[in-house]
Chain A
Amino acid sequence: MIEVKNLHKKFGKLTVLDGLDLSINEGGIFAVLGPNGSGKTTLIKCILGMVIPQDGEIIYDSESILGKSDYRNKINYMPQIANFPANLTVLELIEMVKNLRPKPANEDDLIALFGLESHLEKKLGNLSGGTKQKVNIVLAFMFDSNLIILDEPTTGLDPIALIHLKKLIQKAKSQGKTILVTTHIMSLVDEIADEIVFLLDGKIYFKGSVSKLKEETGEKHLEHAIANLLKKQYV
């Protein structure tokens, strides 16, 4: 479904992606892991066209996407930090995003699910971080797209909202969609991820299922397995 070939990205002198190759098949939950600064967000932003790579190619649905914009209609994205225009109300924001995307949306169920009805008329600048994150989730899940990209989706969420989020992810998976998640919460990865993509120094360091990772590293816990991966690197 997504084919990333030989992706290079430098910010100034800092090399973030260094000839990265990645192939992701349709269906399933993919956890993109890696230490801070390993290029997770850069990779995602490259796929979204927000960061422009120096070299390489990204193919989505058998089409090259670099320099294009229409393909984003087939991707739902939830950014890492829920920053919204402070002057807009929640409802206006949702209406605006709907207006900008030429496809149907089912925001009402999601609003009810996260109990946002009472916040709809409030300005985004006045919302708490957690509530903003909920709005962020609504925006990411209200369209029916085959690829959903979630960048640190759990930040600031209360336990109930977290349960709802996990359900939403599972539901999307059951509909045959592809979900790309970056996170530092290993329990979440353990719980939902079908496959792990481990980034290090701008390259794919490991790609495979959770069990495969545990097997290779000989660790029972995912956290330890990841730590083990890193340790090997530094030996």
Chain B
Amino acid sequence: MFKILKYSFFDLMRSSWSYVYFAFYLVLGFVLLFLNNDVSKAVITLMNIIIVLTPLIGTIFGVMYFYNSKEFTELLLAQPIKRTTIFMGQYFGVSVSLALSLILGLGIPFLAYGLFQSSAIFEFGLLLVVGTFLNFIFVALAFNIALSHENKIKGFGYAILMWLFLAVIYDGAFLISLVIFDDYPLDKFSLIATMFNPIDLSRILILLKLDISALLGYTGAVFKQFFGTSLGFVLSLGVLGLWVILPVWRINMKLRKKDF
């Protein structure tokens, strides 16, 4: 698997998109830090960007890579390598290269700025962990969609729709149901609804570590009681992990029956 991972990884590293992505984070990091002069505020702005952008980029790169490497895949399929090995190699190749762009792109400006002297180092670390998770989750979801659709355009459309659903529509439905069922106790519902969407889960995980979490009020207190404990924290990282494992598992299931 590592051979395939290596080839996918270097294949992506050669494409200019990885550099564009890396450069984007690099510039973003520098601009935020040197315009704001405030690490903890930069972390808030970064959160807004990361929870929207990493899933989107993960989705697009995942789908694009899958369809674009059709030839490479077919070449590999004729070699004495297991199918799951081929696709897991490619999956990790894409995810790792995207995660590296994120971590290095943001890490370098923050290190240059003197992150280790800042109290925001924990929040920043969490931001990178969550961003990396989102990366792995959305590349896996994108692979799932691409595997199920031979038609590139269709696959691409569904992938974007999936992102749109999790990033926007889900929250819309969430908001509306909160408003409609106003008379009922809603904190458990909120907690569960958050768990079912990796973007919401990531957002809440980071928000709760920031001072602004005080805004969350009573519901926030329930959330804090849950996520604030190390058990809840580990559990929510576990849920994010599950969000990686389940789509990856489905990729492997799908592969058993797939014709090329």
Question: In the complex, which residue of chain B has the Cβ closest to the Cβ of A53?
Answer: B259
Task: Tell me if B's interface is mostly helix, strand, loop or mixed.
Answer: helix
* Cα-based distance from A38 to B80 in the complex (angstroms): 27
Q: Which of A11, A51, A70 is B80 in contact with, Cβ under 8 Å?
A: A70
Total number of A-B contacts with CB less than 8 angstroms?
Answer: 63
Determine whether the beta carbon of A69 is less than 8 Å from that of B81. yes
A25, CB-defined interface residue at 8 Å: no
Q: Check if A87 sits within 8 Å of B14, measured CB to CB.
A: yes
- Is B3 in contact with A99, judged by CB distance below 8 angstroms? yes
Number of interface residues of A (CB under 8 A): 28
Cα A100 to Cα B75 with chains together (Å)? 11
Interface pair A52/B78, CB less than 8 Å apart: no
Contacts of B152 in A (CB 8 A): none
Inter-chain contact B69/A52, CB cutoff 8 Å:
no
Q: Could you tell me the distance between the alpha carbons of A99 and B80 in the complex, rounded to whole angstroms?
A: 11
> Is A205 an interface residue, CB under 8 A from the partner?
no
**Residues from 64 to 110 in B contacting A, C-beta threshold 8 Å:** 69-72, 74-83
Chain B contacts for A11, CB-based, 8 A: 259
What 1/0 mask marks residues of chain A from 87 to 103 whose CB sits below 8 Å from any chain B CB? 11000000011011110
The A26-51 residues at the B interface (CB cut-off 8 A) are 45, 48-51
| Across-interface contacts of B256 in A (CB, < 8 A) | 52, 67
Q: Scan residues 49-96 of chain A and give those whose CB is less than 8 A from a CB of chain B.
A: 49-52, 67, 69-73, 75, 77, 79, 83-88, 96
Instruction: Assess the B11–A79 pair: CB atoms within 8 A.
Output: no
- Residue from B7, B15, B72, B258 in contact with A84 in the complex, judged by beta carbons closer than 8 Å: B72
Q: How far is the CB of A12 from chain B (nearest CB, A)?
A: 11
Known A49-B77, A51-B259; contact A69-B83, beta-carbon cutoff 8 A? yes
Given A87-B14, A100-B76, A101-B80, 12 other A-B contacts at CB below 8 A?
A45-B260, A50-B78, A50-B260, A69-B80, A72-B81, A84-B71, A85-B69, A85-B71, A87-B15, A88-B11, A96-B7, A100-B3
